[in-house]
């Protein structure tokens, strides 16, 4: 049972130039997820990138490198395209897809997700894929047209009376090579959730995110 992780880190970034290797508390952003992977039960940590600079930094941090073609590294390219490219070039049984914009990810959540996979590690579970998420309480949301979104202003529900929802936090997804190649999706089949706290779910997309996470990391 070969378990590997892949961190997709292309060179182009609109919000923050060279975001994946920009410094967070003096350390390249991608270092946090590389270290989270290396400190989990994952046997190999890979970075898929189209950028030589990201490849160099990642290699120095102990990650294996797979250079990705430019035609699947554009703004319009999907993560699934890169995952399928990885699956066709690297040998593995189980894949942990980690996003480099999740610096607060702890190895214990990766291990919990692996433990839930298809009874391979713990026969109490039988999931084909899992992903990380946080639990969200109900809040009154409004549309851009200033209309209540899925609630009635004349019959405002109490928060405790509305079912809680899980929100994908984008930190990681786990699936098998077989399911990835068959479905061409990051998750498929019987899907489970690894719950993470909200504060560990923050993503770096803007400079404001970077400053905020720098204060709590």
pLDDT for 131-176, tens place per residue? 999 999 988 999 999 999 999 999 998 888 888 999 999 999 999 9
Instruction: Report the pLDDT averaged over residues 43-55.
Output: 96
- Single pTM value for the model: 0.90
pLDDT for 51-79, tens place per residue? 999 999 999 999 999 999 988 888 888 99
Query: Residue 73: what pLDDT?
Result: 86
Quote the Cα angle for 98-102-107, to 5°: 65
Q: Is 141 annotated in the active site?
A: no
* 126 vs 192, residue with greater confidence: 192
* 13 vs 172, residue with greater confidence: 172
Query: Residue 28: what pLDDT?
Result: 96
Query: Residue 125: what pLDDT?
Result: 67
Query: Residue 140: what pLDDT?
Result: 93
pLDDT bracket for residue 36 (50, 70, 90): very high
Least confident residue range of 8-17, 152-161, 202-211: 8-17
Mean pLDDT, all residues of the chain: 92
Class of CATH domain 3-132+169-187+198-216 = alpha beta
Please report, for the chain, the start and end positions of each structural domain, with discontinuous segments joined by +: 3-132+169-187+198-216
Q: What percent of the chain has pLDDT above 90?
A: 76
pLDDT at 24 over 60: yes
pLDDT bracket for residue 188 (50, 70, 90): very high
Catalytic residue among 156, 158, 159, 200: 156
Query: Residue 159: what pLDDT?
Result: 86
Instruction: Report the pLDDT averaged over residues 181-190.
Output: 96
């Amino acid at each position: 049972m070969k378990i590997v992780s892949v961190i997709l880190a292309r060179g182009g970034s609109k919000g923050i130039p060279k975001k994946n290797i920009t410094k967070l508390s003096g350390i390249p952003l991608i270092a946090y997820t590389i270290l989270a992977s290396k400190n989990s039960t994952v046997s190999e940590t890979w970075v898929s990138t189209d950028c030589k600079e990201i490849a160099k930094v990642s290699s120095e941090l102990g990650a294996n490198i797979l250079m990705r073609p430019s035609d699947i590294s554009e703004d319009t390219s999907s993560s699934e395209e890169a995952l399928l490219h990885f699956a066709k070039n690297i040998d593995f049984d189980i894949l942990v897809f980690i996003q480099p914009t999740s610096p607060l990810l702890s190895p214990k959540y990766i291990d919990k997700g692996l433990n839930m996979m298809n009874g391979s590690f713990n026969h109490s579970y039988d999931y084909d894929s899992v992903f990380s998420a946080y639990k969200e309480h109900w809040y009154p949301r409004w549309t851009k047209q200033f209309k209540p979104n899925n609630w009635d202003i004349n019959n405002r529900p109490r928060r405790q009376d509305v079912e809680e929802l899980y929100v994908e936090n984008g930190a990681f997804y786990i699936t098998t090579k077989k399911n990835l190649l068959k479905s061409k999706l990051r998750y498929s089949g019987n899907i489970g959730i690894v719950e993470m706290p909200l504060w560990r779910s923050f993503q770096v997309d803007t400079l404001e995110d970077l400053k905020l996470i720098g204060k709590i990391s």
